[in-house]
Amino acid sequence: MDTTTPTPAGAAPPAEQAELRERFMDEAMPLMDQLFGAALGMTRNRADAEDLVQETYLKAYSKFHQYKPGTNIKAWLYRILTNTYITQYRKAQRSPKRASTDTVEDWQLAEAASHDARGLVSAEVEALEALPSEQLRDALESLSEEHRMVIVMADVESMTYKEIAQALGIPIGTVMSRLNRARRNLRAKLGEVAAEYGIGGAR
């Protein structure tokens, strides 16, 4: 993946450009791996995910003068990532390339931690950590786009409800209900695998 920081757009004075570049490197670039994990969960293909993250960072840097220092930069970047994904795949009706088994095995989707909004590790996180790559791929691909995105953000990327709401541009209540439906659908899709890995208990 090309991690070169793009040249800032506009005609800002050199000193201001240098300051923006330094802040971008310090605040935004360390989140690239997390965004790549989310992009991989959305696209299910490494090459598409790399393209999506690169485009996200190009857009983010060109708009970085609009970012308010001290606010949630993670949610800001995820909002750009999500909007870019929707533009590239849904509006253009592009079909992402299917990943090979080897590509799926490279996913870093099992490194979830506690979900900050609840302070608990969900059963879905525990299952996703344990699932073989092929079953993980099939389980995630069986979900609708909007359900897969909230599962990835909440249970893989450990984003809070507030961060997800900011990233998707929807109310927190919508995030909670959508995530509840997504988890319910995931448990149903996994079936016997769910029972084997401990998904499906009362919540």
Each residue's pLDDT tens digit, 54-98 = 999 999 999 998 998 888 899 999 999 988 888 776 555 444 444
Could you tell me the residue ranges of all domains in the chain?
14-91, 105-196
Read off the amino acid at residue 136: L
Domains 14-91 and 105-196 share a fold: no
User: Under a CB-based contact definition with an 8 Å cutoff, are residues 189 and 143 in contact?
Assistant: yes
pLDDT tens string 128-163? 555 555 666 677 777 888 888 898 888 878 888 998
- Identify residue 122 by its one-letter amino acid code: S
Amino acid identity for residue 79 in this structure: R
pLDDT on residue 2: 54
More confident residue, 115 or 89: 89
The C-alpha angle with vertex 169 and arms to 163 and 73, in degrees rounded to 5, equals 40
Please compute the mean of the pLDDT values over residues 182-196 and round it to a whole number: 72
Judge whether residue 112 has pLDDT over 50.
no
Identify the CATH assignment for 105-196 out of 1.10.10.10, 1.20.58.220, 3.40.50.300, 3.40.630.30.
Answer: 1.10.10.10
Range with lowest mean pLDDT among 48-57, 114-123, 146-155 = 114-123
Task: State phi, psi for 6 to the nearest 5 degrees.
Answer: -70, 165
pLDDT of residue 122: 47
CB 183 within 8 A of CB 151: yes
| Section 181-202 average pLDDT | 66
How far apart, in whole angstroms, are the C-alpha atoms of residue 136 and residue 82? 21
What is the rounded average pLDDT for all residues in the chain? Answer: 72
R_g (Cα) of the chain, nearest Å: 18
Amino acid at position 11, single letter: A
Question: What are the φ and ψ backbone dihedral angles of 10, each rounded to 5 degrees?
Answer: 90, -175
Could you count the other beta carbons within 10 Å of the beta carbon of residue 143? 19
Name residues whose C-beta falls within 8 Å of residue 19's C-beta, 6 or more positions apart in sequence.
Answer: none
Instruction: Supply the pLDDT for residue 198.
Output: 54
Name the CATH code of domain 14-91 (choices 3.40.50.720, 1.10.1740.10, 2.40.390.10, 1.25.40.10). 1.10.1740.10
- Please calculate the CA angle 140-145-149 and round it to the nearest 5 degrees: 70
